[in-house]
Protein backbone atom coordinates (compact mmCIF):
# COMPACT_ATOMS: atom_id res chain seq x y z
CA UNK A 1 0.00 0.00 0.00
CA UNK A 2 2.81 2.41 0.88
CA UNK A 3 4.63 1.66 -2.37
CA UNK A 4 1.44 2.41 -4.33
CA UNK A 5 1.11 5.75 -2.51
CA UNK A 6 4.77 6.61 -3.18
CA UNK A 7 4.36 5.71 -6.85
CA UNK A 8 1.29 7.93 -7.22
CA UNK A 9 2.96 10.75 -5.26
CA UNK A 10 5.99 10.49 -7.53
CA UNK A 11 3.86 10.69 -10.70
CA UNK A 12 1.94 13.67 -9.31
CA UNK A 13 5.22 15.37 -8.42
CA UNK A 14 6.58 14.76 -11.94
CA UNK A 15 3.41 16.19 -13.48
CA UNK A 16 3.60 19.24 -11.22
CA UNK A 17 7.23 19.80 -12.21
CA UNK A 18 6.31 19.58 -15.89
CA UNK A 19 3.62 22.22 -15.38
CA UNK A 20 6.01 24.56 -13.53
CA UNK A 21 8.74 24.35 -16.14
CA UNK A 22 6.80 25.52 -19.21
CA UNK A 23 3.46 26.93 -20.37
CA UNK A 24 0.54 24.55 -20.59
CA UNK A 25 -3.19 24.48 -21.30
CA UNK A 26 -6.09 23.74 -18.99
CA UNK A 27 -9.28 22.24 -20.38
CA UNK A 28 -12.27 23.10 -18.19
CA UNK A 29 -15.49 21.14 -18.64
CA UNK A 30 -18.57 22.06 -16.59
CA UNK A 31 -21.63 19.79 -16.67
CA UNK A 32 -24.44 18.02 -14.85
CA UNK A 33 -25.27 14.32 -14.89
CA UNK A 34 -28.49 12.97 -16.42
CA UNK A 35 -31.25 12.12 -13.93
CA UNK A 36 -31.33 8.46 -12.99
CA UNK A 37 -27.61 8.14 -12.28
CA UNK A 38 -26.40 8.08 -8.71
CA UNK A 39 -23.40 10.10 -7.66
CA UNK A 40 -21.48 6.85 -7.21
CA UNK A 41 -22.33 5.70 -10.75
CA UNK A 42 -21.28 9.07 -12.17
CA UNK A 43 -18.02 9.10 -10.24
CA UNK A 44 -17.16 5.56 -11.33
CA UNK A 45 -17.90 6.30 -14.99
CA UNK A 46 -16.04 9.62 -14.99
CA UNK A 47 -13.04 8.08 -13.24
CA UNK A 48 -12.91 5.34 -15.89
CA UNK A 49 -12.21 8.07 -18.48
CA UNK A 50 -8.71 8.35 -16.99
CA UNK A 51 -7.70 5.17 -18.84
CA UNK A 52 -8.68 6.81 -22.12
CA UNK A 53 -7.45 10.39 -21.76
CA UNK A 54 -4.05 9.39 -20.41
CA UNK A 55 -3.23 7.86 -23.80
CA UNK A 56 -3.51 11.14 -25.71
CA UNK A 57 -0.40 13.04 -26.75
CA UNK A 58 0.17 16.06 -24.55
CA UNK A 59 -1.84 14.80 -21.57
CA UNK A 60 -0.39 15.86 -18.21
CA UNK A 61 -3.03 15.40 -15.50
CA UNK A 62 -6.77 15.34 -14.75
CA UNK A 63 -8.91 16.32 -11.77
CA UNK A 64 -12.68 15.88 -11.52
CA UNK A 65 -14.87 17.30 -8.74
CA UNK A 66 -18.55 17.73 -7.88
CA UNK A 67 -20.68 19.58 -5.38
CA UNK A 68 -23.83 18.67 -3.47
CA UNK A 69 -25.98 20.38 -6.13
CA UNK A 70 -24.92 17.92 -8.83
CA UNK A 71 -22.55 20.27 -10.65
CA UNK A 72 -19.35 18.74 -12.00
CA UNK A 73 -16.06 20.16 -13.16
CA UNK A 74 -13.42 18.29 -15.10
CA UNK A 75 -9.96 19.89 -15.29
CA UNK A 76 -7.54 18.40 -17.78
CA UNK A 77 -3.98 19.65 -18.09
CA UNK A 78 -2.28 19.51 -21.50
CA UNK A 79 1.14 20.49 -22.79
CA UNK A 80 -0.43 22.89 -25.29
CA UNK A 81 -3.70 24.06 -26.81
CA UNK A 82 -3.23 21.99 -29.97
CA UNK A 83 -2.94 18.74 -27.98
CA UNK A 84 -6.01 19.67 -25.91
CA UNK A 85 -8.17 20.46 -28.93
CA UNK A 86 -7.00 17.39 -30.87
CA UNK A 87 -7.84 15.14 -27.92
CA UNK A 88 -11.24 16.80 -27.42
CA UNK A 89 -12.09 16.20 -31.05
CA UNK A 90 -10.73 12.65 -31.21
CA UNK A 91 -12.30 11.43 -27.96
CA UNK A 92 -15.74 11.99 -29.49
CA UNK A 93 -14.87 9.20 -31.96
CA UNK A 94 -13.91 6.76 -29.18
CA UNK A 95 -16.81 4.32 -28.52
CA UNK A 96 -15.77 3.68 -24.91
CA UNK A 97 -15.63 7.40 -24.18
CA UNK A 98 -18.91 8.21 -25.91
CA UNK A 99 -20.62 5.47 -23.89
CA UNK A 100 -19.37 7.14 -20.70
CA UNK A 101 -20.50 10.56 -21.96
CA UNK A 102 -24.08 9.23 -22.00
CA UNK A 103 -24.31 10.14 -18.31
CA UNK A 104 -23.78 13.85 -19.09
CA UNK A 105 -26.69 16.20 -19.82
CA UNK A 106 -25.41 17.67 -23.11
CA UNK A 107 -27.30 20.94 -22.71
CA UNK A 108 -25.44 21.65 -19.45
CA UNK A 109 -21.95 21.01 -20.83
CA UNK A 110 -19.57 23.93 -21.24
CA UNK A 111 -15.97 23.41 -22.42
CA UNK A 112 -13.10 25.89 -22.41
CA UNK A 113 -9.44 25.65 -23.36
CA UNK A 114 -7.26 28.17 -21.55
CA UNK A 115 -3.55 28.92 -21.81
CA UNK A 116 -1.91 29.29 -18.41
CA UNK A 117 0.02 32.50 -17.89
CA UNK A 118 0.46 32.44 -14.09
CA UNK A 119 1.02 29.80 -11.43
CA UNK A 120 1.56 30.46 -7.75
CA UNK A 121 4.91 29.44 -6.33
CA UNK A 122 6.34 30.04 -2.89
Q: Per the confidence metrics, is the pTM higher than 0.75? A: yes
Higher pLDDT, 91 or 5: 91
- Residues 6+ positions from 97 with CB-CB distance below 8 Å: 49, 52, 91
Give the residues across from 72 on adjacent strands.
31, 66
Q: Does domain 23-115 have CATH number 3.30.70.100?
A: yes
* Chain segment 59-91, per-residue pLDDT in tens: 999 999 999 899 999 999 999 999 999 999 999
Residue 8 has pLDDT above 90, yes or no: no
pLDDT at 5 (0 to 100): 38
Per-domain residue ranges of the chain: 23-115
Q: What rounded mean pLDDT belongs to the chain? A: 87
Give the residues across from 115 on adjacent strands.
25
Amino acid sequence: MLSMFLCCASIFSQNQNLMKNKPYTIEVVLFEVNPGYTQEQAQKALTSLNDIVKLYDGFIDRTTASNKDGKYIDLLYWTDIKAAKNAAEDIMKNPKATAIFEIIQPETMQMYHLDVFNQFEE
